[in-house]
Copies of this chain bind each other. A is one copy, B any other.
């Protein structure tokens, strides 16, 4: 008979919604209890949502979070779940209102904590030691690091508890708690998805398990929170590196698994490790349980699912009744429409075609065909009669006139958004956002940018994948082939194509990968064999459009280097060229 039945709750919290997040945890505890589990672990900050950013510096927020922890313990006991040991992540810090002076005061007053609840009370607490302060993370800004280690003795097993980044650092708490001969290492996480991250995360978990011959249980939250998408993918690996259990990506799940960790010994603890003994009723449920052991799908399916969940949760958590977007018949708006339909149902998606005098008949047909295939709400608003008076009164031509067309279109979907409360989507892809190939306040207008982190070449790839996936399931392909095959064009003047002013997309995306994602310099890129003039053009466009990106809508991060908190560069910047 296994020594411990472990439950990992992959919940989808909403930042700030302590009541709703508490309900999620209580529901998970009830299911875990019904499944005969001894221990339930939630993700990092599952009680408050993550990341809470500077809410960690608001005493009133800390007070509410602080009170929610014992309240959760009491409620679990009241609902007959008090015997289950529950680990819950939350912020913990001082909560008296205080007066702030000048900026020269630390933002960090709280800790990133994990509390252990049992029989109606908080029996132990751990504070995260290692605070990531790179990429999208600002944890050193908002949290004070912990300096004490915790081991729970539970049914004869020592369970070491750490939080997320603690696992990543060599020489961090992992080695220290395992000096205490823990049989199980429990890591609670809020680790956002990015492409190929599972190729780093799972090997890390496996390495930690095998190098210490310890079972590692890794639980992650799931869901979209602004520009981050948490993928779940909770996993349990034993000391031989075998995966004992793995939860599905991108959905809520309770992962239950029987584990057989080494029994606790009476060896001396390192002085800064605290051991808390928890008396629990012996586990008596010998019924075999069903344990998920999911395999990750294909890369493009993962990306598509991440984009869908990012959009769905932004809509749902912010209470929008639907979305509205412009449909040009091009690939970007087609993919955004398909994502939106997958996220919230075609019946909640409102597409507007806004042909101008430069729109080709093909584009109008493609937009209508897309709408029909997807089954979304479709309307047409020609813009010629709205643009002309402006061009004439202001005497515009060239780029200024082209921008008016784009801005009238943005105004139309924003008017629909204002009238109906729909979230306005903006369809820009990462490539055009990189080089500023968009009209600010025009096609860039909107509250959420579904493919903001998807380079143009990947947009095509995802479109083809989505169609093939539909085909394989005998469904209608959502995206018209013409939208995928035709040369991309903004259609703001006759016969225009993107390649009039930009390098071919495969070349452009290759240079952007080096300049933006890899942070290489102009000379380093040229040294790799790229044409110097092309590199100069691309890097100059990237630098000069930083001001537009600062005013851009958020959208789901799916790469190691997205625009937003991931890449913080000055607008005013005079590089050597």
Contact = CB atoms under 8 A, between A and B. Distances in A.
Contact of A521 (B97, B168, B551, B567): B97
Given A58-B520, A64-B576, A411-B441, 20 more contacts: A14-B572, A60-B524, A61-B575, A63-B521, A100-B517, A100-B561, A102-B194, A103-B135, A103-B194, A103-B566, A104-B135, A134-B141, A224-B572, A394-B412, A396-B419, A399-B418, A403-B415, A407-B411, A440-B445, A447-B547
Interface string A122-153: 00000000001111101011000000000000
Contacts of A399: 418
A238 to B, nearest CB: 24
A167 B106 CA distance: 15
Interface stretch (A24-32, A269-277, A385-393, A504-512): A385-393
A573 B226 CA distance: 9
Given A63-B521, A407-B411, A571 B200 contact: no
Interface string A393-404: 110101110011
Interface string A179-215: 0000000000000001011001000000000000000
Given A134-B106, A318-B572, A570-B52, A518 B100 contact: yes
Nearest to A574: B17
A18 interface: yes
5 contacts: A102-B194, A133-B133, A408-B411, A411-B411, A441-B445
Contact of A200 (B55, B101, B394, B445): B101
A320 to B, nearest CB: 11
Q: Which of A17, A49, A524 has the most CB of B within 10 A?
A: A524
Interface in A45-67: 49, 51-55, 57-61, 63-64
Given A100-B561, A576-B18, A519 B571 contact: no
B134 A567 contact: no
A14 B574 contact: yes
Contact of A519 (B57, B226, B393): B57
Contact of A102 (B200, B313, B400, B551): B200
Contact of A314 (B103, B107, B404, B572): B572
Contact of A20 (B108, B520, B554, B574): B574
B396 A415 contact: yes
A100 B519 contact: yes
Interface of A: 14-20, 49, 51-55, 57-61, 63-64, 97, 99-108, 132-136, 138, 140-141, 168, 194, 196-197, 200, 224-226, 313-314, 317-318, 381, 385-386, 389-390, 393-394, 396, 398-400, 403-404, 407-408, 410-412, 414-415, 418-419, 440-441, 445, 447, 517-524, 547, 550-554, 560-561, 566-576
A53 B573 CA distance: 11
B572 A226 contact: yes
A180 to B, nearest CB: 26
A521 B53 contact: no
A101 B415 CA distance: 42
A373 B51 CA distance: 50
Given A15-B570, A396-B419, A572-B314, A521 B560 contact: no
Contacts of A108: 134
A194 B102 CA distance: 8
Contact of A570 (B51, B389, B403): B51
